Each structure stands twice: as C-alpha cells, then as structure tokens.
Amino acid sequence: MSVEQSLENTESPVQEISRSHRIRKKIIELGEFTLFFFRFWKEVFLPPYEFNEVIRQSYEIGFKSLYPVSITAFVMGIVLVLQSRPALVEFGAGSYIPSMAAISIIREVGPLITALVCAGNIGSSISAELGSMKVTEQIDAMEVSGVRPFKFLVVTRVLATTFIIPILVVHADAISLLGSFFGSNIKGQSSPSLFFGQVFEKLTFDDIIPSFTKSFIFGFIIGIISCYKGFTSKNGTEGVGRATNAAVINALLLVIITDMIITQLSSIFNLL
C-alpha cells in the first residue's frame, strides 16, 4: 500500500471526533429511551386512569387508519392470488389457491401490512402532535396546571395503539381474503361458498394465535416509538420534523425485525 493510499484511509481528527460524537449520542438516546420505556410501565399502573382518553384515542387512531388499511389489504389480497396462481396452476395445484391465500394473509400479510401502514400513518401523526406540543411548551403548561402530561399524552396513546392495531388486523384479514376471492375470479371462476369453505378448512389456531399475538406487540412498538420521539423532540419546528421522520423509520424497522423474530420463534416451537 502506498503512502497516498494510507493517508486516504486514515481518518482525520475531526472525522474521529464526529464519529465518536455520533456513537455517544446514540448511546445516550438508547439510555433515554430505556428510561422512557420503564416510566411508561410505571405510569400505566398508577392512578388516575384515563379511560375516556384511551377510548377517544382508540377511536381517532382506528378511524384515521381504517381507509388506508382497507385499500392496502384489498389490493394485497388480489395481488397475492394473481402472482401465485400461475405457479400453482402449472404444478396442478390450482385448487390450493384459497388455502394458500388464507394462510399467507392470516400469518404474515395481514399483520405486517397493517402494522407498516399504521407505522407511517399513526406514527407520524402521534409524533408530530406531541412534538408540536413540546416545542410550544404546552406540555410544560400542563405540568404547571397539575395535569400529568406523561399519563395523559403518552400512556393513553400507547394503550390505544396496542389495542386498536389487533382490531385493524382482523379487519385487514377479512378485507384481504375478500380481495383474494376477487383475484381468484379474474382468471377463473369460484363460488363464494367453495372459496371461503376451503379458506376456513385449512386454518388452525396455530395460524391465528401467533398472528393475533404479534399484532399487540406491533401496536405497542408503534405507540411507544412515536410517543418517545414526539415527547422528547427539541429545536423547534425543525426538530419536530426530524422526530416525525425518525419515529416512522424506527417503527418500520422495529416492526419488521420483530416480525422476523416472532416468525422464527413460532417455527421453532411448532417443530418441538
């Protein structure tokens, strides 16, 4: 290696300081999120309990997400059948299209697509709302007036996302199965009774329970990440924009990673 190449590969002191600063910043942020996480579990069991606010947030979150979730789920049901039909028909397995669609939708497509849509829709909304309240000092005003902002703003929203995402997943599964029925009739013909009879014939609790369980985890991840980014945003409106962007990206990544882990664990336990 020449002297010029070795000099190019050597970091300057400014680059080393910048890199160490970024690493330290990430470690500090991880520590702050850990404290935020444990504070949530502490506050959730302490009175007063904001049941009315949880219900209101659940309604708003569910209503805002119903339309994009429905459209996405319906399209995914159609695309899933259209993409898999040629390969199944080529091997003489066209009769397995309904059961294949049902297992794919219930196990993966429904929960994951719903969580990803909600991470972008709900995550950005919650983080932007809380971030705006933070930079305009509305949260500080709530503390002065005797209201517990963490309980009222964070706990209620995290609980709302945790409980409403599974309901949206059930809705998305039904809409996606309906879309798969329409997809199967684009290049073929199948009666509703025959199609949905084959759908429910192959489904078992081993398909439904893991899917329904991880939808609660997805909802909690979306809620806690969005609330953390919004509740701790800084530097004015520019900071709110960065917090909103970070909330969506982090929620998407964590949902995908969590889905991979849960899928692997469920496969391992099914083999035992």
Give the distance, in angstroms, between the CA of residue 241 and the centroid of all CA atoms in the same chain: 20
91: number of Cβ within 10 Å: 8
User: Residue 49 to residues 40, 61, 143, 152: CA-CA distances in angstroms?
Assistant: 13, 19, 17, 9
Encoded tokens for 192: 């509703």
Say what the pLDDT of residue 191 is: 76
Output DSSP code: residue 175: H
Assessment of whether the complete model's pTM goes beyond 0.95: no
Say what the pLDDT of residue 81 is: 87
Say what the pLDDT of residue 257 is: 93
State the Cα–Cα distance between residues 178 and 75, nearest whole angstrom: 10
Closest CA to 173 of 83, 98, 74: 74
Below-70 pLDDT ranges, the chain: 1-19, 21, 93, 188, 270-272
Say what the pLDDT of residue 22 is: 75
241: number of Cβ within 10 Å: 15
User: Residue 215 to residues 32, 80, 161, 211, 259: CA-CA distances in angstroms?
Assistant: 26, 21, 10, 6, 9
Say what the pLDDT of residue 272 is: 45
Say what the pLDDT of residue 116 is: 92
15: number of Cβ within 10 Å: 10
State the Cα–Cα distance between residues 183 and 175, nearest whole angstrom: 12
State the Cα–Cα distance between residues 236 and 132, nearest whole angstrom: 8
Say what the pLDDT of residue 183 is: 85
Closest CA to 29 of 221, 234, 223, 216: 234
State the Cα–Cα distance between residues 118 and 131, nearest whole angstrom: 18
